[in-house]
Amino acid sequence: MTTKARFPGANIIPIHGKTPKIHESAFIAPGCTIIGDVQIGAESSIWYNCVLRADVFTIRIGERTNVQDGSVLHCDPPRPGDEAGSPLVIGDDVLIGHMAMVHGCTIHDRGFVGLGAIAMNKSVIGSDAMLAAGAMLTEGKVMEERMLWAGRPAKPLRELSDAAIAGMRAGVMHYTENAKHHGEAAKDCLG
């Protein structure tokens, strides 16, 4: 089955000899644009009108991760003095809220990026950590595990409770299940 048939209404675009690699169980919503050297793992979901643009470097997304509506993901290439560049690396079971801007950073397993938040090049969101809605994690900042950061620029606020972390995990399960329903609905309407 072609990529177009698997993900009706989505724009999957190869560039510079690189074609997005999307696991067959992933959900890519209609209206998304996914370009270049992108890899998306099993049961992950990319929701309506997201842009994932890996035209200059790599974007890697793990399993059961969701990128919610209207988010933009990009990266920066290696350059003289910065041979490592700024790939975008997102682990498993990550939640990325609506309208987030995630650029050339690392989000470890079970990390959370709130609605409208920004994570910039070479920043790191630790496992079970949360970047609050509207926050801006500036270049090179590192969030420790289980921490909540908020503000513009973002700063540590407090350690997350077990209940908050359980809520984030429940959110992952919700999006993984809901993506299956949306995938079927998209095929029925657009396939």
Instruction: Write the pLDDT tens digit of every residue in 55-91.
Output: 999 999 999 999 999 999 999 999 999 999 999 999 9
Question: How are beta strands 66-67 and 130-131 bridged, if at all?
Answer: unpaired
Tokens 């910039």, residue located: 120
CA distance 165 to 183: 27
Task: Report the amino acid identity of residue 37.
Answer: D
Domain boundaries 3-184, corresponding CATH code: 2.160.10.10
End-to-end Cα, the chain, rounded Å:
12
Q: Does position 187 have pLDDT exceeding 90, yes or no?
A: no
Residue boundaries of the structural domains of the chain: 3-184
